[in-house]
């Protein structure tokens, strides 16, 4: 048996249902559902998406039985309407519309008023006594049909219309009288014939046939194909075609057309919302020539119809249990519902509607949670530009950290601080930022860079600070020397105002008004419901007590990543850090030399031993001075670090705090500019040349793959020892004051088992020393970041020693792909544009590659330590898709920027709803 | 039943055998074997390594039954010798020596002449009528026992001896008469008592007990522990203790001592080789006070003994079927064999001996193959310094590419070329090298760098060229400005002579004579045998016809990696390359812009479309100029590349050639120094500022993870298209001339399936075009490098399209570890020194991590393409351990530098012998 190709709807019953979207398209399925609900829908029939599929698969031929089914359904429609296609007495007019399972607004074609020909026009005039209406409908039909079905360019019709208006000396279409329109019809037909080399078809069946084919053809027009690529629409059979009796809102003052929402889509308020136009067609509302009236005015104009409309919208919302976006037409006091669909809404409205609907008993909490797009919540957590403000966009970069910011342009961190001292707001504009700029970034309203991607230093730090950032804006040409930047031929100088939108990447000249975010009570309610549902814990990445406090207020259940390096940059500490770093390589090199000499000595069997002993003694003497500088600097840093940790532990009272020991390569702490280098030379009482030599010696060709992370811990053990001492001392001191502390000491960039076991031995030794001296025991853990492929591959071995894993998916993505997140902006956008990559892997975790390693890491890790605590602390920890994955593979927690904590809470709850039991538990 | 703790040997039969080394140690097992062979060995007994193990495991207590076993065996020894330990009439003297299963020369302790006390001395004097001999033996025993068993420092005894010699007014020990030695004995005993607070023991049983304990203790002295770490000696139970009757070579002119080899260990010549000293002890030979005589002189001195010695050495070589290193002593015309072991030999000797022994029917070919250390063959493939030449070593870097080189110091590639034009030999000394230096490197004798590791640019290129290189020599302080370097307080100027040893890393001042390598006929024979055995194919990494030719002569069966980028650096091409590169980013950026605008246009439903169309038109206009520059440069490069490939295909007639398309980031082709930048600006007729801007725009923070490899192929498709066209045109042209060509086109740095499939489509399209135009079909393959973790993880998907995989283990190691091979010299040496890493993972493939990915990659790749051809082309392809792994996991071939081809052939044969069937085949 061949499948059913055509589904009828009308007269209170329909062949289809709302859950048949895949077959009937969204529009067709909802028309059927509305019909079944007893709502007045102009009757018609839907040709299924399977026909479209078969049409393309079978060399653009329809299935055999389709023609018969169309004929049968058309007869049924004609009977129901008491009118016939092409009947000069009582002509039936129909619309032919596309409608796929996914919304593709404006991408595919529609033909209205089909069925008109000279005879039918006369029939309409007879029936409506409205000659102008009839001719107007006819000229619209010819133009639409000519454009859609036959490819006559729309502007040719428009030009004729313009000429005609000029001749008639009128400005708008509506001023054209029937005789003018008649003339337009003739000229439209002439141009149609000229372009298509055939006369405009009078036979309505032929019209219908061509229109259906045109709609199917529009499924594969380049715009539609592109649209599906862009919006990642996949797995659809094609478009359905809806053939539906026309109703007219432009048949006089008892006719109207409108669109409405069952609730306010902007605020979420449970109040009927919409607008309508008397004597108008749908396209008039969209065109904006006349200003539509608010929906409540309809009550005065047509009270009965309004009552009916309210009744239907209630039925629809109750039925679909969500806000409906409805199109309706009133034809001579008779209400027809043309379309219903789920209404798009702002984040604010989404939250309010979800919470209200639970309170109203319409939906349950779980449904409320699943309704909110976690990504959209971002809007609620950052300042926004006033949507009514005027924007002069001069460039668009990457939307690196959401929010809106306005301020004066500065080109250095120092200037940022100077301007802010004078109470000026600033935007820090840099080619790229480095850890030296942290202070300046902190005081700025926003950060704008010309290089780097979504996870460049600027982007990561800005997100951590909850500060607006636009990154990699390559169009800007910064001239540091002259303190300006050029963009599109304009020059913007230091002190000029600009505005940046971190959610869209837009850069605007001048000041643009902003709106501050508000966390309403509904939002808090929703977050509590999310807590009831989710399994994943949500932690935050926070390096300062301020960030920690903010995150805790937003619901963070611990710190998943506290980076200690940012603590090294304060005014009172960077000098000691630099003293330490300038001495450290000498210490290390001399230690290698000593160790090497000791080894040689062990191998030496003869006189060589005496020479080696002398060299050994000399090396030990040489070591003294740098070792002294190095250790004295560390001694000065110890109380400062301890104090940092005390403050953070206090804020996080009762919650775990994962502290990552020093991670970046040491050269990041040294100034690259000569002025600062001179400054250091002076402070350290050494020559500039010596400073330069050390800076050069520390330079690396690929710092991301260089001497960093635990490699520093191995080669400069005293640095990690100092940090561990500071952490445990702080924990002891806080515990003494009644604060509940759970420090988790995290070793970064581990690649071998021995690195971890050697460093862990040191941590335990120092921690025991401190606790013994203090006479206090604190619970603490020692774990690692898994951020190198090798660590994931040997996770079973590492987990023998490590008590927790935190997946550092930024670095893991870099190494797995071989992508430097600071450099990919030269090709990743191109990759996405060309469809080589679907998404930026630094924003959404690449499940196929990096995700595979994460799964391998967890599986192997738990094979040797079943109770291994596992989390993620890369930027991906705040991405909903990634969070769902983390839930699925059985992580214990995700950690993200403070401002993404609510998003993560919601995403985690949704993940639990979608898959109540994680894969790892099964 | 408790195990047997003591093994006796003597009188023609022994409890042990040579295959019991694990239990008896090397020395003990071979003493037993020699005894069983009927060779005169001083009798004795061996206390097993199990006793040592039990001793340490049981809190330094011996197993219960040991004492009894020692007593029994001692009695047996006394009976056999007709002498008793401590017997004043006929005292037995014994040696107590260590001996583990692995050779640890000089690391553990030995006590000789044990059993002496005042009574025994008298007994000896009576027996030998040699008072001086007896007292000399006694004083030696006291010092040795004091040092070894009781920890009295050796120099205390030496000082007494010196004082005594001064007093006696003699210079050497041998001039001391019996009365002097008697006096020395008294003073030795006094210092012994002072330091140990107990008198020197007279009871020989107590002496023996203490000496055995001391030998066991020496197993864990710090030097021995260190030695085992350094030489990676693992899994041993401990040392055995050999107690053996003393024999004396210093009992007069009918006594002697000597060492000999059954064949010449330096040349391999089958001629008895060695030396001896009349009236001497073993230590006298070593001490070098008297010059030993060549072994053949013994025939004249003691013809019967010599005949006997020759007979025994023949028995031993025939028995062990390998060259033996033998120690012997002649006591009053009686020959004793004290030790035999496999003789160490030079590479040259090793090859000759192996081939000779096969010819003599002593061993078979397989044994011959397994006897040669592939690593040692390196010696035969590069020039060496004359071992007799004097060396003034001023610094030691990493032995990055073997060989020896002498030349004048130059600090730039340009100077290198200038000097060479004047027929001067040069050593290029740079902080690091870059692709710009290729020309200069090519003409230099050797390369010396102060930065970078074993796989830095300099090292890799030098190995590829078969040129000597010392890398990362941090002690050198280069001053480019003043054209000199400082090292250890000396200044070496441009034009001064230095010499570098790429096998040891040594840097020497002045000229040192070198010896050119010779490939003897034996070497060729051995290589043929290797070919009969091995399964793995051996290819080479070669970028030039010269390298390809050399590799083919050394047995390469194809090119596994032909890098096209080195072809871009010639005088006649670099300008076109630079023109292409300076235009390329504009082309790419405008293309992205155009694509972006087209996408926006597809989404735009309203007036915005008109604006977008205008912008689109403008962008297309802007594209014209850079596109023209770019494509015209590519057109000029095409015939040059084609010619390169033609030459290589010709050399490799009949063999496959894998050509890797452009890999390094484009900025590597641009000059970083201002002078060269000015030069380019002039040539390209643009401003210096513009050049600088482009150079800056192409700068990357982590170029290793940047815009390179197939990413260039995606963003600049025209470059790869040009290269593919050149390859296929060259193949067609050569085929026309009767050359048999098998081009294999390799795409680098693939990380996603789409990258590969999109690029492969392009390759096929271009190749088909060319072949159609030429009217010739050539067989070719398209495959990829697997060098990113992600590629290995999704190898099943990539293999759906790729016809071969070549594992790029350099990059794979970098990404898996997160190590930049250019930067690891700051910590990897430290890691190895501290035992965090066992070996440099850039030299020996890290099987645990990178190797795991290689296995995953092969398994997954063959899951979708069972006949997938798999090879390796990283630096590891020439490392014997890695080659064994490649064989085991079922690779088809390895590819290495031309000069390592013979090593790889041998290693592959050895791998087959060790594991005839690869893991993948099982």
Q: Is B764 exposed, middle or buried (0-12, 13-18, 19+ CB in 10 A)?
A: middle
Q: Is B104 on the interface with A (CB under 8 A)?
A: no
- Residue A454: per-residue pLDDT: 65
Show residues of chain A in contact with B710, CB under 8 Å: none
Give A814 to chain B, closest Cα distance, Å: 8
Interchain proximity B226–A599, CB inside 8 Å: yes
> Which residues, numbered 208 to 267 in chain A, qualify as contacts with chain B under a Cβ-Cβ cut-off of 8 Å?
222-223, 226-227, 230
Provide the token pair at A367.
């449904």
pLDDT at A287: 57
Distance CA B564, CA B569 (A): 10
Give the whole-angstrom CA distance, residue A556 versus residue B560: 54
CA dist A778 and B609 (Å) reads 65
Q: Which residue has the tokens 């997954």?
A: B860
A728-737: pLDDT as tens digits? 999 999 999 9
Mean pLDDT calculated for residue range B218-238: 82
Cα distances (Å, whole numbers) of residue B371 to B102, B321, B345: 17, 11, 11
Inform me whether the C-beta atom of residue A589 falls under 8 Å from chain B C-beta atoms: yes
Q: In chain A, which residue's Cα lies nearest the Cα of B231?
A: A603
Confidence of residue B922 (pLDDT cuts 50, 70, 90): very low
Q: Would you please indicate which residues of A are annotated as catalytic (active-site) residues?
A: 457, 873
B-proximal residues of A, 851-870, CB under 8 Å: 852-853
Structure confidence by residue, pLDDT tens digits, B125-152: 988 888 999 999 999 999 999 998 888 9
Average pLDDT on A210-223 reads 89
- B848 shares contact with chain A (CB less than 8 Å): yes
Q: What is the pLDDT of residue B607?
A: 55
What torsion, rounded to 10 degrees, do the Cα atoms A266, A267, A271, A275 define? -20
Question: How far is B345 from B322, CA to CA, in rounded Å?
Answer: 11
Does the annotation mark B873 as catalytic? Answer: yes
- Taking only the tens place, the pLDDT of each residue in B782-796 is 999 999 999 999 999
- Looking at CA atoms only, how far is residue B677 from chain A in angstroms? 20
Whole-number pLDDT of residue A698: 86
For the stretch A157-201, pLDDT in tens is 989 999 998 998 988 777 889 999 999 999 999 999 999 999 999
Q: pLDDT-based confidence at A375, cuts 50/70/90?
A: confident
- Chain B positions in Cβ-Cβ contact with residue A283 (cut-off 8 Å): none
Give yes or no for A848 touching B (CB within 8 A): yes
Query: Mutate which of A701, A759, A796 to test chain B, going by most B C-beta atoms within 10 A?
Result: A701
pLDDT surpassing 60 at residue A650: yes
Q: Do A703 and B702 touch (CB under 8 A)?
A: yes
Contacts of A789 in chain B (CB under 8 A): 789, 815-816, 849, 853
Q: Least CA distance to B472: which residue of chain A?
A: A697
* CB proximity B450 to A under 8 Å: no
pLDDT attached to residue A393: 80
CA distance B823 to chain A (A): 6
- The predicted-structure confidence for A111-164, as pLDDT tens digits, reads as follows 999 999 999 999 999 888 889 989 999 999 999 999 988 889 888 998 999 999
Antiparallel, parallel or unpaired: β B91-92 and A239-245: unpaired
Q: Look over chain A and give the mean of its residue pLDDT values, rounded to a whole number.
A: 90
Set of chain B residues whose Cβ sits within 8 Å of the Cβ of A827: 707, 711, 714-715
Model ipTM value: 0.80
- Residues in chain A within 8 Å Cβ distance of B599: 226, 230, 833
Chain A contact for B488 (CB, 8 A cutoff): no
pLDDT one-digit tens code per residue, A343-370: 888 888 899 999 999 999 999 999 999 9
Q: Please tell me if residue B1 touches chain A, with a CB cutoff of 8 Å.
A: no
* Overall average pLDDT of the A371-375 stretch: 89
**Does residue A681 belong to the interface with chain B, where contact is any CB pair within 8 Å?**
no
- Give me B38's structure tokens: 């009927």
Name the residue among A714, A752, A815 with its Cβ closest to that of B815.
A815
- Is the pLDDT at B362 greater than 90? The verdict is yes
At B146-181, the pLDDT tens digits run 998 888 988 899 899 989 989 989 887 778 899 999
Lowest mean pLDDT among A209-218, A690-699, A885-894: A690-699
Q: How confident is the model at residue A231 (pLDDT cuts 50, 70, 90)?
A: confident
pLDDT at B452: 66
Per the CB < 8 Å rule, is A830 touching B592? yes
pLDDT at B916 (0 to 100): 80
* CA proximity to A74, closest of A217, A207, A202, A215: A207
* Mean predicted confidence (pLDDT) in B250-274: 90
- Asked if B705's CB is within 8 angstroms of A702's CB, the reply is yes
Give residue-wise pLDDT tens across range B704-736: 999 999 999 999 999 999 999 999 999 999 999
pLDDT digits (tens, 9 = 90+) for A57-69: 888 888 989 999 9
Does A603 have pLDDT greater than 80?
Answer: no
Q: Is the pLDDT of residue A921 over 50?
A: no
Average pLDDT over residues B20-38: 95
Sign of CA dihedral B500, B504, B507, B513: negative
Cα→Cα distances A70→A44, A63, A149, Å:
11, 12, 19
Q: In sequence order, which residues have a C-beta less than 8 Å from that of residue B510 and are 6 or more positions away?
A: B392, B497, B498, B499
How many CB atoms are closer than 10 A to CB B113? 25
Residue B285 to residue B278: CA distance in whole angstroms: 10
Ranked by mean pLDDT, the top range of A907-921, B415-429, B583-597 is B415-429
**For residue B14, which phi and psi values (nearest 5 degrees)?**
-140, 155
What number is the average pLDDT over the span B102-130? 87
Interface test with A, best of B107, B599, B702, B710 (most A CBs within 10 A): B702
Please determine, for residue B100, whether its predicted confidence score (pLDDT) is greater than 70: yes
C-alpha B858/C-alpha B920 separation (Å) is 9
Q: CB pairs below 8 Å between A and B: how many?
A: 222
pLDDT at B455: 58
Residue numbers of B between 828 and 847 with CB closer than 8 Å to A: 829-831, 833-837, 846
In our burial notation (b when 16+ CB lie closer than 10 A, e otherwise), range A419-433 reads: bbeeeebbbbbbbbb
Residues A494-521, mean pLDDT to the nearest whole number: 84
Phi, psi (rounded to 5 degrees) for B410: -130, 155
Residue keyed to tokens 């590519």: B634
Q: How far apart are CA B214 and CA B196, in angstroms?
A: 15
Non-local CB neighbours of A371 within 8 Å, separated by 6+ positions: A322, A350, A353, A354, A363
Query: How far is it, in rounded angstroms, from Cα B852 to Cα A689?
Result: 46
pLDDT in tens, B570-582: 777 888 999 899 8
Integer angstrom CA distances of residue B660 from A294, B609, B806: 67, 43, 10
- The backbone region for B332, taken as left when phi is positive above 0, alpha when psi lies in -120 to 50, beta otherwise, is left
Predicted pLDDT of residue B921: 46
Distances (CA, A) of A620 to A121, B373, B792, B833: 107, 39, 47, 17
Position A366 scores a pLDDT of 95
Q: Where are the alpha helices (DSSP H) in B197-237?
A: 204-218, 222-230
Mean pLDDT of A72-95: 93
Contacts of B706 in chain A (CB under 8 A): 820, 823-824, 826
pLDDT reading at B799 higher than 90: yes
pLDDT tens column, A416-471: 999 998 999 999 999 988 877 888 898 999 999 987 666 577 887 887 677 899 98
Q: If you ran DSSP here, which 8-state letter would residue B746 be given?
A: E
Q: Touching check for B823 and chain A: CB below 8 Å?
A: yes
Q: What is the pLDDT of residues B298-338, one digit of tens each?
A: 999 999 999 999 999 999 999 999 999 999 999 989 999 99
Q: What angle do CA A435, A439, A443 make, to 5 degrees?
A: 135
- Taking residue B742's Cβ as centre, other Cβ atoms within 10 Å add up to 18
So what's the pLDDT on residue A856?
97
Is B719 near chain A, with CB under 8 Å?
A: no
Please give the angle made by the CA atoms of A487, A488 and A491, to the nearest 5 degrees.
45
For the ranges A163-167, A285-289, B357-361, B423-427, which has the lowest average pLDDT?
A: A285-289
Is the pLDDT at B224 greater than 90? The verdict is no
Chain centroid to CA A423: 33
Taking only the tens place, the pLDDT of each residue in A672-710 is 778 888 888 887 788 888 888 888 888 888 999 999 999
Alpha carbons B348 and B691: distance in angstroms, whole number? 55
Does the pLDDT at position B606 exceed 60? no
Inter-chain CB proximity A704 and B749 less than 8 Å: no
- For residue B867, give how far its alpha carbon lies from the nearest alpha carbon of chain A (Å): 24
Q: Which residues of B touch A703 (CB under 8 A)?
A: 701-702, 820, 823
Mean predicted lDDT score pLDDT of chain B: 90
Mean pLDDT to the nearest integer, B384-396: 79
**A556-582: per-residue pLDDT in tens?**
999 999 999 878 887 778 889 998 998
Cross-chain Cβ contact B811/A834 below 8 Å: no
Report the distance separating Cα A882 and Cα B634, nearest Å.
43
Contact B702 A850 (CB under 8 A): no
Active site residue B566: no
pLDDT in tens, A625-634: 889 999 999 9
Q: What is the pLDDT of residue B289?
A: 59
């Amino acid at each position: 048996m061949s499948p059913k190709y055509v589904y009828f709807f009308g007269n209170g019953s329909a062949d289809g249902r709302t859950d048949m979207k895949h077959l009937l398209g969204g529009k067709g399925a909802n028309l059927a559902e509305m019909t079944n609900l007893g709502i007045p829908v102009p009757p018609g029939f839907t040709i299924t998406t399977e026909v479209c599929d078969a049409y393309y698969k079978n060399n653009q031929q329809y299935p055999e039985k389709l023609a018969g089914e169309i004929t049968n359904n058309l007869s049924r429609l004609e009977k129901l309407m008491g009118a016939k296609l092409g009947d000069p007495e009582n002509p039936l007019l129909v619309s032919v519309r596309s409608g796929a399972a996914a919304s593709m607004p404006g991408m595919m074609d529609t033909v209205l008023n089909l069925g008109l020909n000279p005879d039918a026009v006369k029939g309409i005039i007879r029936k409506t006594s409205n000659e102008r209406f009839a001719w107007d409908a006819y000229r619209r039909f010819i133009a639409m049909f000519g454009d859609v079905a036959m490819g006559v360019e729309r502007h040719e019709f428009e030009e004729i219309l313009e000429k005609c208006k000029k001749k008639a000396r009128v400005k708008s279409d509506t001023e054209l009288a029937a005789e003018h329109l008649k003339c337009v019809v003739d000229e439209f037909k002439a141009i149609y014939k000229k372009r298509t080399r055939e006369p405009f078809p009078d036979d309505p069946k032929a019209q219908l046939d061509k229109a259906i084919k045109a709609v199917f053809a529009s499924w594969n027009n380049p715009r539609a194909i592109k649209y599906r690529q862009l919006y990642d629409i996949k797995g659809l059979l094609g478009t359905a075609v809806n053939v539906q009796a026309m109703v007219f809102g432009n048949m006089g003052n008892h006719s109207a057309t409108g669109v409405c929402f069952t609730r306010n889509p902007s605020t979420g308020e449970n109040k009927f919302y919409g607008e309508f136009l008397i004597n108008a067609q749908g396209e008039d509302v969209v065109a904006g020539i006349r200003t539509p009236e608010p929906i409540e005015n309809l009550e005065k104009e047509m009270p009965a119809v309004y009552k009916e409309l309210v009744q239907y919208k209630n039925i629809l919302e109750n039925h679909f249990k969500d806000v409906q976006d409805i199109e309706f037409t009133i034809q001579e006091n008779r209400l027809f519902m043309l379309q219903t669909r789920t209404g798009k809404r702002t984040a604010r409205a989404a939250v309010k509607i979800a919470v209200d609907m639970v309170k109203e008993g319409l939906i349950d909490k779980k449904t409320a949670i699943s309704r909110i797009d976690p990504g959209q919540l971002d809007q609620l957590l950052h300042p926004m530009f006033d949507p009514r403000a005027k924007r002069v966009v001069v460039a668009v970069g990457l939307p690196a950290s959401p929010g809106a910011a306005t301020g004066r342009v500065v080109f250095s961190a120092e200037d940022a601080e100077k301007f802010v001292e004078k109470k000026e707001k600033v935007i820090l504009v840099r080619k790229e930022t480095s850890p030296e700029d942290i202070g300046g970034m902190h005081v700025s309203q926003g950060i704008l860079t010309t290089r780097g991607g979504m996870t460049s230093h600027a982007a990561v730090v800005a997100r951590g600070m909850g500060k607006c950032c636009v990154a990699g804006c390559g169009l800007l040409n910064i001239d540091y020397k002259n303190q300006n930047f050029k963009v599109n031929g304009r020059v913007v100088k230091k002190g000029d105002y600009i505005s940046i939108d971190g959610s869209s990447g837009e850069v605007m000249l001048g000041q643009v008004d902003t709106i501050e975010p508000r966390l309403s009570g509904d939002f808090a309610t929703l977050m509590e419901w999310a807590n009831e549902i989710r399994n994943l814990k949500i932690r935050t990445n926070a390096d300062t007590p301020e960030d920690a406090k903010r995150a805790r207020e937003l619901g963070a259940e611990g710190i998943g990543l506290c980076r200690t390096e940012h603590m090294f940059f304060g005014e009172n500490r960077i000098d000691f850090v630099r003293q330490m770093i300038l001495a450290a390589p000498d210490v290390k090199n001399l230690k290698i030399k000593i160790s090497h000499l000791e080894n040689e000595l062990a191998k030496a069997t003869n006189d060589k031993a005496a020479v080696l002993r002398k060299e050994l003694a000399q090396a030990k003497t040489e070591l003294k001075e740098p070792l002294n500088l190095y250790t004295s600097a560390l001694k000065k840093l110890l109380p400062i670090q301890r104090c940092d940790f005390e403050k953070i532990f206090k804020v996080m009272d009762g919650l775990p705090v994962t502290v990552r020991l020093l991670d970046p390569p040491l050269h990041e702490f040294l100034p690259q500019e000569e002025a600062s280098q001179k400054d250091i030379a002076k402070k350290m009482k050494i020559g500039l040349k010596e400073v330069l030599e050390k800076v050069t010696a520390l330079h690396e060709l690929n710092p991301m793959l260089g001497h960093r992370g635990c490699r520093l811990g191995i080669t400069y053990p005293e640095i990690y020892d100092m940090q561990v001492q500071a952490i445990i001392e702080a924990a002891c001191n806080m515990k003494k004051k009644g604060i509940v502390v759970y420090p988790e000491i995290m070793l970064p960039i581990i690649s071998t088992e021995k690195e971890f076991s050697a460093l862990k031995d040191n941590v335990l030794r120092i921690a025991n020393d401190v606790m013994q001296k203090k006479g206090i025991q604190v619970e603490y853990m020692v774990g690692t970041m898994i951020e190198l492929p090798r660590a994931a591959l040997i996770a079973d071995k590492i987990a023998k020693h490590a008590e927790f894993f935190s997946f550092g998916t930024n670095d893991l993505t870099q190494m797995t792909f071989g992508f430097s997140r600071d450099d990919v902006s030269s090709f990743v956008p191109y990759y996405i544009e060309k469809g080589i990559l679907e998404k930026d892997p630094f924003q959404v975790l690449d499940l196929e590659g990096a995700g595979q390693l994460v799964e391998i890491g967890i599986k192997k890790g738990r094979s040797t330590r079943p109770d291994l605590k596992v989390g993620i602390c890369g930027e991906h920890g705040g991405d909903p898709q990634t969070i769902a994955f983390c839930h699925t593979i059985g992580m214990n927690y995700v950690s993200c920027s403070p401002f993404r904590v609510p998003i993560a809470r919601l995403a985690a709850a949704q993940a639990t709803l979608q898959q109540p039991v994680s894969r790892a538990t099964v």
